[in-house]
């Protein structure tokens, strides 16, 4: 960690940007609902993360929630389908799990848990594969069809969190606290990295389409592993795969950008997938992108 | 594939299946309990059956700020009403039956039926009267529910009713289910300590007569009627002709 404030701010730049987006969206929801924030009499952003309306015109909806609703056998209206389509399009382009790091309010809770866990040095209580989430995802879809209600929406601690924040006064905080304690004491990145079916849904969505990716310059990387230590989904930083693709291609990458400022060799940066692919085709390793002169590999 | 890796694979698969099945069952049980437990929630206008509403409602809360009276609440976790869904308590704030139904307009999923255009066609619930605590039934000329009912003189009428052995009558409110929207203004204005008129989900209290009963004395019953057999006719002794005229002799 750099000693100067400027250096610290540089390291924290993506973290600060993420917090600004997360808090800003929450504030927009809260202000529109409780303080009547509007533009020419049109409320800025009403609803919540399940479904909302921008300026009383543009519908937005959680595509995973809408998918579950469709599976119940009761067909929703076009409005919510359009809203889900818009969100699907957005995260399809910027990378599905960008939702997880930049928007989802639960990220505030689980990041706090991860910070505390590091501080008090807790070891995992259980060893669970991160692929459990795809099982939970499949189960969500099956149960939605069987039980006739959107299965995850009825138990989702994410929804409980934002409903508590916006509409208030229930024991939904208990579920949020549960997620926090689970992440601190039971399993590192337990909720977001192992169980959450919404994250799994977005991981599947972003696998091939995501345009915003962390580009990787193999020629610079010394394999020091600083990036892996800060990454909440460390399995995505597979150096061999990243060297082949020139980027972190996995849909499980949440685009949080934590790895980028900690890299001492400046081997990582955000870039567009098509530019990375084109540069690799042209045989350009992308060295010109960084400001720091290339260093020799340590190992 | 060697014997041991095949065995490992099969064990892994079995473990995964067992975990999914157990977790799935617990989850399903939770859903069944939560989503089906309460028939008591009074829903905004345009809500269909509880099953339909619970399936379609995405719990976004868009209907709440749309309501100009602050009628609607979102069920919080731990309440006895399905989590995150809108409902209202008429005694606190009833539905004032806006003609443009803004809550329905705000609903993005169709959980509040977009086809509902006339608020008088809404069926949020049904007013029922506890005649033991209703002031009118005790002989007082209260009738506040009747006068404040927005479906004037249709959903609630005042009828006279004999007062025990006295030659005087009492005037009592009577709810007509075909006109009552369940808005709950009557429950709001009822002057008793605990309201003597309340909104409940209609199917909790409403019976069904059966089409075979013929009310020959009512004005709008046609004089010549088709014979509608009882849906659940009792056992008939063997040898008795049930198709002939004899069975319906009372009306011949």
- Could you read off the pLDDT of A160-193 as tens digits, one per residue? 899 888 887 678 888 899 999 999 999 989 999 9
Q: Which two tokens stand for residue A274?
A: 């098509």
**pTM confidence score:** 0.83
Q: Which residues of B touch A143 (CB under 8 A)?
A: 24, 27-28, 31
How many Å apart are CA A196 and CA A134, to the nearest integer? 9
Mean pLDDT score across all residues of chain B: 85
Q: Which residues of B touch A65 (CB under 8 A)?
A: 58
CA distances from A3 to A11, A99, A118, A206, A235 (A): 11, 32, 20, 37, 30
pLDDT at A62: 94
Q: How confident is the model at residue B241 (pLDDT cuts 50, 70, 90)?
A: low
Q: Which two tokens stand for residue A176?
A: 């949020």
Judgement on whether residues A236 and A183 belong to the same structural domain of the protein: no
Beta-carbon contacts of residue B125 (< 8 Å; ≥ 6 apart): B42, B182, B184, B199, B200, B201, B202
Contact A157, A191 (CB under 8 A): yes
How many Å apart are CA B150 and CA B159, to the nearest integer? 18
Instruction: Identify whether A20 is part of a domain.
Output: yes
Judgement on whether residues A42 and A87 belong to the same structural domain of the protein: yes
Question: Is A164's CB within 8 Å of B27's CB?
Answer: no
Instruction: Identify whether A295 is part of a domain.
Output: no
For testing contact with chain A, the best of B58, B62, B68, B74 (most A CBs within 10 A): B58
Question: Is A51's CB within 8 Å of B77's CB?
Answer: no
Measured over the CA atoms of residue A150, residue A155, residue A159 and residue A164, the dihedral's sign is positive
Q: Which two tokens stand for residue B167?
A: 């030659």
Structural domains counted in chain A: 2
Instruction: Identify whether A298 is part of a domain.
Output: no
Judgement on whether residues A168 and A256 belong to the same structural domain of the protein: no
CA distances from B170 to B128, B134, B164, B167 (A): 18, 12, 9, 10
**Of A175, A204, A233, which residue is a domain's last?**
A204
How many Å apart are CA B60 and CA A76, to the nearest integer? 14
Question: Is A163's CB within 8 Å of B64's CB?
Answer: no
Question: Is B35's CB within 8 Å of A62's CB?
Answer: no
pLDDT at A148: 87
How many Å apart are CA A276 and CA A269, to the nearest integer? 11
Work out the average pLDDT over B148-164. 91
Q: What is the DSSP letter of A194?
A: I
For testing contact with chain A, the best of B77, B80, B105, B106 (most A CBs within 10 A): B77
Strands B126-129 and B197-200: antiparallel
Question: Is A149's CB within 8 Å of B31's CB?
Answer: yes
**Of A172, A204, A236, which residue is a domain's last?**
A204
Question: Is B77's CB within 8 Å of A135's CB?
Answer: no
Instruction: Identify whether A135 is part of a domain.
Output: yes
Closest Cβ opposite residue A170 in set B62, B79, B109: B79
Q: Average pLDDT by consecutive 10-residue portion of chain A (299 residues)?
A: 79 92 94 88 90 91 94 91 94 92 94 92 84 92 90 90 84 88 90 94 88 90 91 92 89 92 90 87 62 47
Domain enclosing residue A248, as ranges:
211-289
Q: Which residues of B touch A174 (CB under 8 A)?
A: 77-78
- Residue B14 distance to chain A (closest CA, Å): 14
Question: Is A175's CB within 8 Å of B77's CB?
Answer: yes
For testing contact with chain A, the best of B12, B34, B60 (most A CBs within 10 A): B60
For residue A270, what is the domain's CATH number?
Answer: 3.30.70
Q: How many CB pairs under 8 A join A and B?
A: 142
Instruction: Identify whether A234 is part of a domain.
Output: yes
Instruction: Identify whether A144 is part of a domain.
Output: yes
Neighbour count for residue A160 (Cβ, 10 Å): 26
Judgement on whether residues A154 and A12 belong to the same structural domain of the protein: yes
Instruction: Identify whether A299 is part of a domain.
Output: no
Q: Which two tokens stand for residue B231?
A: 């849906």
Question: Is A155's CB within 8 Å of B108's CB?
Answer: no
Work out the average pLDDT over B138-155. 93
Q: SS3 of A299, please?
A: coil
For residue A227, the surrounding DSSP H or E stretch is helix A226-230
For testing contact with chain B, the best of A32, A69, A74 (most B CBs within 10 A): A74
**Of A204, A226, A254, which residue is a domain's last?**
A204
State the ipTM, two decimals.
0.84
Judgement on whether residues A94 and A155 belong to the same structural domain of the protein: yes
Q: What is the DSSP letter of A167?
A: T
Judgement on whether residues A85 and A186 belong to the same structural domain of the protein: yes
Question: Is A69's CB within 8 Å of B83's CB?
Answer: no
Which of residues B244 and B152 earns the better pLDDT score? Answer: B152
Q: What percent of chain B has pLDDT over 70?
A: 83
pLDDT at A196: 95
Judgement on whether residues A190 and A161 belong to the same structural domain of the protein: yes
**Segment B175-205, tens digit of pLDDT:** 999 999 999 999 999 999 999 999 999 888 9
How many Å apart are CA A29 and CA A60, to the nearest integer? 13
Beta-carbon contacts of residue B174 (< 8 Å; ≥ 6 apart): B156, B157, B158, B159
How many Å apart are CA B1 and CA B3, to the nearest integer? 7
Q: Which residues of B touch A80 (CB under 8 A)?
A: 58, 108-110
**Segment B25-78, tens digit of pLDDT:** 998 888 887 766 567 789 999 998 888 898 999 999 999 999 999 999 998 877
Chain A residue at shortest CA distance from B63: A47
Instruction: Identify whether A294 is part of a domain.
Output: no
Work out the average pLDDT over B85-113. 94
Neighbour count for residue B250 (Cβ, 10 Å): 5
- Residue B55 distance to chain A (closest CA, Å): 4
Domains of chain B: 38-121 (3.30.70), 125-206 (3.30.70.20)
Q: At what angle do helices A13-34 and A157-166 cross, to 10 degrees?
A: 60
Q: What percent of chain B has pLDDT over 90?
A: 52
Question: Is B82's CB within 8 Å of A43's CB?
Answer: no
For testing contact with chain B, the best of A163, A168, A172, A177 (most B CBs within 10 A): A163
Q: Which residues of B touch A51 (CB under 8 A)?
A: 58, 60, 62, 108-109
- Residue A46 distance to chain B (closest CA, Å): 6
Judgement on whether residues A284 and A188 belong to the same structural domain of the protein: no
Which of residues B244 and B172 earns the better pLDDT score? Answer: B172
- Residue A85 distance to chain B (closest CA, Å): 13
Judgement on whether residues A132 and A48 belong to the same structural domain of the protein: yes
Judgement on whether residues A283 and A190 belong to the same structural domain of the protein: no
Question: Is B62's CB within 8 Å of A65's CB?
Answer: no
Question: Is B109's CB within 8 Å of A160's CB?
Answer: no
Closest Cα partner for A222 from A290, A298, A293?
A: A298
Judgement on whether residues A87 and A229 belong to the same structural domain of the protein: no
Q: Give φ, ψ of B216 to 5 degrees.
A: -65, -20
Judgement on whether residues A284 and A176 belong to the same structural domain of the protein: no
Q: Which residues of A touch B84 (CB under 8 A)?
A: 153-154, 159-160, 163
């Amino acid at each position: 960690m750099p000693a100067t404030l400027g250096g610290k701010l540089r390291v924290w730049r993506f973290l600060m940007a993420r917090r600004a987006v997360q808090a800003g969206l929450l504030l927009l929801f809260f202000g529109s609902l409780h303080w009547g924030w509007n533009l020419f009499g049109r409320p800025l952003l009403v609803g919540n993360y399940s479904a909302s309306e921008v300026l009383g015109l543009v519908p937005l909806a959680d595509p995973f929630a809408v998918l579950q609703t469709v599976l119940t056998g009761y067909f929703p209206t076009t409005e919510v389908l359009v809203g889900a389509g818009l969100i699907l399009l957005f995260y399809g382009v910027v990378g599905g799990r960008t939702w997880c790091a930049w928007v989802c309010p639960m990220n505030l809770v689980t990041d706090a848990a991860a910070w505390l866990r590091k501080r008090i040095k807790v070891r995992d209580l259980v060893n669970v594969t991160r692929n459990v989430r795809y099982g939970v995802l499949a189960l969500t879809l099956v149960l939605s069809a069987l039980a006739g209600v959107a299965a995850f929406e009825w138990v989702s601690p994410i929804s409980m969190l934002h409903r508590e924040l916006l509409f208030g006064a229930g024991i939904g905080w208990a579920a949020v606290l549960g997620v926090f304690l689970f992440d601190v004491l039971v399993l590192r990145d337990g909720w977001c990295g192992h169980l959450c079916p919404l994250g799994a849904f977005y991981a599947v969505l972003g696998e091939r389409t995501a345009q915003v990716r962390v580009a990787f310059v193999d020629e610079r990387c010394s394999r020091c592993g600083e990036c892996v230590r800060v990454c909440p989904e460390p399995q995505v930083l597979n150096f061999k795969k990243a060297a082949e693709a020139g980027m972190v291609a996995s849909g499980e990458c949440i685009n949080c950008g934590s790895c980028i400022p900690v890299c001492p060799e400046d081997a990582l940066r955000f870039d567009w997938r098509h530019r990375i692919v084109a540069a690799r085709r042209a045989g350009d390793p992308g060295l010109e992108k960084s400001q720091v002169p290339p260093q020799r590999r340590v190992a | 594939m060697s014997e041991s890796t095949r065995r490992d694979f099969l064990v892994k698969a079995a473990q995964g299946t067992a975990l999914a099945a157990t977790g799935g069952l617990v989850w399903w049980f939770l859903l069944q309990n939560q989503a089906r437990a309460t028939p008591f929630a009074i829903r905004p206008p345009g809500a269909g059956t509880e099953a339909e509403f619970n399936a379609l409602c995405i719990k976004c809360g868009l209907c709440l700020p749309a309501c100009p009276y602050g009628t609607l609440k979102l069920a919080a976790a731990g309440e006895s009403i399905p989590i995150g869904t809108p409902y209202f308590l008429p005694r606190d704030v009833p539905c004032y039956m806006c003609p443009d139904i803004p809550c329905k307009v705000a609903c993005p999923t169709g959980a509040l039926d977009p086809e509902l255009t006339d608020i008088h066609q809404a069926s949020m619930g049904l007013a029922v009267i506890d005649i033991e605590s209703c002031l009118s039934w005790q002989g007082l000329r209260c009738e506040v529910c009747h006068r404040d009912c927005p479906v004037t003189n249709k959903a609630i009428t005042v009828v006279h009713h004999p007062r025990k052995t006295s030659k005087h009558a009492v005037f009592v409110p009577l709810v007509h289910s075909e006109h009552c929207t369940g808005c709950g203004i009557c429950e709001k204005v009822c002057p008793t300590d605990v309201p003597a008129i309340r909104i409940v989900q209609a199917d909790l209290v409403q019976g069904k007569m059966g089409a075979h009963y013929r009310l020959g004395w009512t004005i709008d019953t046609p004089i010549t009627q088709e014979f509608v057999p009882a849906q659940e006719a009792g056992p008939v002794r063997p040898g008795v002709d049930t198709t002939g005229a004899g069975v319906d002799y009372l009306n011949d």
